[in-house]
Amino acid sequence: MSAIHGAAPRRAAIAALLILTPLAGCTDGADGSVEAVSAVDVQPLVHLPAAEGADPTKPLTVTAEPGSRLTDVTVTGPDGRTVAGKLADDQRTWQSVGRLGAGTKYVIRVAADDGDGGRGETTGSLTTAAAPAKLSAELGPGSNGSGVYGVGQPLTVKLSQPVKDPAARQEVERSLKVLSEPAVTGSWYWVDDSNLHFRPKEYWPAHASIKLSFDRPGGRIADGLYAGDTVTRTIRTGDRVEVLIDAAAHYLTYRRNGEVLNSIPVTTGRPGYSTRNGIKVVLGQEADVRMRSESIGIAAGSPDSFDTDVKWATRVTWSGEYVHAAPWSVASQGVENVSHGCTGMSLANAKWFFDATRIGDVVQVVNSLGKPMEPFGNGFGDWNVAWAQWTKHSALGQTVNTAGRTEDAQSVGALLPQV
C-alpha cells in the first residue's frame, strides 16, 4: 500500500505524477506503469499496488511527469540498507546505482513537488523476481559444544556449488563478513572452487569474540546465481595455547599465554614413519580410540601392523596423527623416536595434555625427518602458508580489518567460562 499526501497554497490539487519502474505484474497505468495522482482535498490518499517480478539485474527508475520534480528518493531493502542512487540534474529522474537483490522486497519513498508550490510524498513497494539459482554457504568451525576454540582455529566456508569465475569469487568475498573484538588483520584464501578459509596474519588474540556471516541475501554472484539466506557463526577463543614438539630433543613444551606450564618427554615417528614438521591445529579429542595400521596404509599381519586401544588421544591430522598415551613406549620417551608418526607420552601426561588442550589450539613439530604439514586437506595447515602468499589467494587481493561489534559473540561469551 502507498499514499501521497499534498497541500497546495494556490491550488486544491498537486499535479505531480510519479512513475516507478521497473515494475511487473500488478500495475495501474495503461503503459504498465504505476501512477500516483494527488486528490482534490488537502489530505488525499492514493493506494499503490506492490509490484512483483521486477528484473533485479536492471536499475530501478523513478520518474516525475513534466512540470514536476523529485526532491527525495529513498529505496530500502528488508535489512534496512539503502540502495544507492543518483538524481538527474533536472530532478525528473532518479535511478539506482546499487545492485538489487533477487526475490527481495524494497520500500520506495518518494517526495516531489509540482513546480507550482504543491508538494507530496508517496510510499510504494517493489519485489524483484526470485533467483534462478541460489548459492548457500556452510560456515565453520562446526559446534564443539562450548563455542570456545584455540587461537589457531581458521574460519571456513563451504559453498553449495563451485565458483570458478574470478569476478564471481569477488562477489562471494563481498558477501562474507568477519568481525572480531579485538580487531585483527586477516584475509581469505580460496582452497578450491567451493572452499574458503579465513585467518589473521598472526594467531587470533586470546579471549576474542569472532563473528562470521554470509550476509547478502539475493545479491548477484554471477549470471543466474544469487546469494542465498543469511547465515552466521559466532565463536570465542580461549587462552593462547602453543605446543612445541621437538622431535630431535624428544620433548613437548606446553605454553599457555606465553608461560611454560609443562615439559613432557615424548616419542615421535621413527624413520620411515617420521612425524610431519610444521604447524597443525587440534581437530578433535577422543578419550578412547581404536587405532588400526590399515588406516595409514600398513597391511594387517605385516611386521609393522598394529591394532591398539589408545587413551587420551588429541587429533591433529585427518590421516591419523595424534598426541596420545603410549604406555608401551615409556622407556623410549625423551630418548628416541619409535612411533608410527604419532606423538606418544605416558598415560598420566597424556591425560594432563588432553585436559589442558582444546580444538583450535596450536601444535608445532620441529626437527623431525618427516615431510612438511600439508596446508590443506589433512587438517588445518593454514599457518604454514607465508602471509604474502596467503593474501595472493584472495579473489579481492586485499586484507580485511575485522573491527566491529560482535553483539552475538558477546552475549554467547557471557555464558562461557573464561578459560
24-60: per-residue pLDDT in tens?
333 344 443 444 433 322 122 223 334 788 889 888 8
User: Average pLDDT for residues 354-377, to the nearest whole number?
Assistant: 98
User: Average pLDDT for residues 299-326, to the nearest whole number?
Assistant: 88
Predicted local confidence at residue 291, as pLDDT:
77
Encode 123-190 in three state secondary structure: EEEEEECCCCEEECEEEECCCCCCCEECCCCCEEEEECCCCCCHHHHHHHHHHEEEEEECCCEEEEEE
Residues 130 and 365: their CA atoms lie apart, in Å, by: 51
pLDDT band for position 64 (cuts 50, 70, 90): confident
Higher pLDDT, 309 or 29: 309
Q: Which residues are catalytic?
A: 324, 342
- What is the grid cell recorded at 204? 587470533
Average pLDDT, the chain: 85
Predicted local confidence at residue 17, as pLDDT:
46
Predicted local confidence at residue 39, as pLDDT:
30
Predicted local confidence at residue 9, as pLDDT:
34
- What is the grid cell recorded at 274? 617420521
- What is the grid cell recorded at 212? 562470521
94-112: per-residue pLDDT in tens?
899 978 899 999 998 888 8
267-298: per-residue pLDDT in tens?
999 999 999 999 999 999 999 988 777 777 77
Most confident stretch, 2-16, 101-115, 299-313, 385-399: 385-399
Instruction: Quickly tell me which residue has 499535479 as its cell.
Output: 15
Predicted local confidence at residue 105, as pLDDT:
93
CA distances from 58 to 54, 92, 102, 123, 417 (A): 8, 19, 11, 21, 51
Predicted local confidence at residue 1, as pLDDT:
36
Least confident of 15-19, 181-185, 379-383: 15-19
Residues 102 and 84: their CA atoms lie apart, in Å, by: 16
Predicted local confidence at residue 281, as pLDDT:
98
Q: What percent of the chain has pLDDT over 90?
A: 65
User: Average pLDDT for residues 320-328, to the nearest whole number?
Assistant: 97
Angle at 287 between CA 286 and CA 290, to 5 degrees: 70
Q: What percent of the chain has pLDDT over 70?
A: 84
pLDDT band for position 407 (cuts 50, 70, 90): confident
Cβ atoms of residues 402 and 178 within 8 Å: yes
Q: Rg of the chain over CA atoms, in angstroms?
A: 30
66-97: per-residue pLDDT in tens?
778 888 889 999 989 899 999 999 988 889 99
pLDDT band for position 5 (cuts 50, 70, 90): very low
Residues 36 and 3: their CA atoms lie apart, in Å, by: 8
169-209: per-residue pLDDT in tens?
999 999 999 999 999 999 999 999 999 999 999 999 999 99
Long-range contacts of 377-381 (CB under 8 A, 24+ apart): 377/318, 378/317, 378/318, 378/319, 379/280, 379/281, 379/283, 379/316, 379/317, 379/318, 380/152, 380/153, 380/154, 380/197, 380/280, 380/281, 380/283, 381/278, 381/279, 381/280
- What is the grid cell recorded at 163? 565458483
User: Average pLDDT for residues 121-148, to the nearest whole number?
Assistant: 91
The residues that bridge with 110 in the sheet, in sequence order, are 73, 122
User: Average pLDDT for residues 323-335, to the nearest whole number?
Assistant: 98
pLDDT band for position 132 (cuts 50, 70, 90): very high
Predicted local confidence at residue 305, as pLDDT:
65
The structure's pTM equals 0.81
Long-range contacts of 94-100 (CB under 8 A, 24+ apart): 94/61, 94/62, 94/63, 94/70, 95/59, 95/60, 95/61, 95/62, 96/59, 96/60, 96/61, 97/59, 99/56, 99/219, 99/220, 100/54, 100/56, 100/57, 100/59, 100/60, 100/128, 100/218
